[in-house]
């Protein structure tokens, strides 16, 4: 089955600042170790839950760092796409861990609600301040790249929720110190967990769509088919697939039935027009067209392989 696979449009691969990820990993290891010790000594569930969240961040940042390195590897005969999907997979893993950690925190918060305990609030306050400073620095390091890449966005969200969790723990520590309201420790844990689910769900849904090769939300298949069908000498556009390989590449493949037996050079001319159309209007930068003439095959727009 002959294919013409052309991609005239070059891609820019932004520097994803692996160094900043590495610094964030070290900062989170420091925070996690400090909060585990502090949580045990103080008896604060909120502090221990924040430590658990930070530990999940260490793992997620390591996954993001490894994916960032893998994504830069060259393609080969055995890996024709290289590791371009490594970062999407990392985003999926990180989003999943956000939700799993949140569920564990909810279970622990409910248990503690039933049996609130007195907590050493002074230690909680100082360690939450450490978490705010360290996570705040990590957030600043990753903020710029989080706008360009799903993997970096997943790491950024982990760190941002960590910083907010530390702020919540600080508020709880102050309330416990000055007003002896110890149930607030469990309440804050529950609030942190619900926020983690809220933040993680959208990223999990987005990364799942990419991994499952679903049509990107901004790609109107029917409209594109109608626009290509309007080209002279094109009889029918069918067997269409559109998917997102990674953050930079959106692919479109289709079979095109021509009204006459055109030459290869004529087909190339039409192909260039199709590429320009879908790139300028829909940011599709990889087009794979199979030309046909009087071929007997299913002519539906979407055909199950």
Look at residue 276 and tell me whether its pLDDT is greater than 50. Answer: yes
Phi, then psi, of 242 in degrees rounded to 5: -135, 135
Average pLDDT of span 19-30: 85
Segment holding 236, helix H or strand E: strand 234-244
pLDDT tens column, 165-215: 778 778 888 887 888 777 777 787 788 788 878 878 888 998 999 999 999
Identify which of 73, 79, 61, 75 has the alpha carbon closest to the alpha carbon of residue 18.
Answer: 61
Going from N- to C-terminal start, the domains of the chain cover: 18-211, 215-292
- What's the CA gap between 49 and 130, in Å, rounded? 15
**Cβ neighbourhood burial of 197 (10 Å; 0-12, 13-18, 19+):** middle
Per-residue model confidence (pLDDT) at position 10: 40
Query: Bridge-partner residues for 292, per DSSP?
Result: 257
Look at residue 51 and tell me whether its pLDDT is greater than 90. Answer: no
Name the pTM for this structure: 0.73
Per-residue model confidence (pLDDT) at position 66: 84
Of 201 and 146, more confident? 201
Look at residue 150 and tell me whether its pLDDT is greater than 90. Answer: no
Class of domain 215-292: alpha beta
Average pLDDT, the chain: 83
Architecture field, domain 18-211: Up-down Bundle (1.20)
Reported confidence tier of residue 293, pLDDT bands at 50, 70, 90: very high
Listed in sequence order, the DSSP H helices in the chain are: 18-42, 45-71, 86-114, 121-146, 150-179, 184-211, 221-229, 264-282
């Amino acid at each position: 089955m002959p294919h013409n696979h052309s991609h005239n449009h070059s891609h820019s691969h932004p520097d994803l600042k692996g160094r900043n990820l590495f610094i964030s990993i070290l900062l989170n290891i420091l925070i996690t170790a400090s909060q585990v010790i502090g949580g045990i000594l103080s008896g604060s569930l909120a502090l221990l839950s924040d430590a658990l969240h930070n530990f999940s961040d260490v793992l997620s940042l390591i996954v993001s760092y490894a994916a960032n390195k893998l994504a830069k590897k060259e393609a080969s005969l055995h890996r024709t796409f290289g590791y371009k999907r490594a970062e999407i997979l990392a985003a999926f893993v990180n989003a999943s861990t956000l939700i799993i950690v949140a569920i564990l925190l909810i279970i622990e918060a409910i248990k503690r609600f039933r049996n609130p305990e007195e907590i050493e609030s002074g230690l909680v306050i100082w360690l939450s301040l450490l978490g705010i400073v360290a996570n705040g620095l990590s957030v600043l390091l990753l903020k710029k790249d989080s706008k360009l890449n799903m993997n970096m966005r997943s790491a950024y969200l982990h760190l941002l929720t960590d910083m907010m969790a530390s702020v919540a723990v600080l508020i709880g520590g102050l309330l416990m110190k000055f007003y002896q309201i110890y149930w607030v420790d469990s309440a804050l844990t529950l609030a942190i967990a619900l926020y983690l689910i809220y933040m993680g769900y959208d990223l999990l849904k987005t990364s799942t769509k990419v991994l499952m090769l679903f049509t990107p939300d901004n790609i109107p298949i029917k409209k594109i088919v109608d626009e290509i069908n309007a080209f002279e000498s094109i009889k029918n556009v069918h067997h269409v697939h559109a998917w997102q390989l990674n953050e930079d590449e959106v692919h479109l493949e289709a079979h095109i039935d021509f009204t006459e037996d055109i030459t290869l050079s004529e087909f190339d001319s039409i192909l260039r027009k199709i590429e320009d159309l879908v790139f300028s209007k829909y940011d599709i930068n990889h087009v794979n067209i199979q030309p046909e003439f009087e071929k007997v095959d299913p002519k539906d727009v979407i055909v199950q392989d």
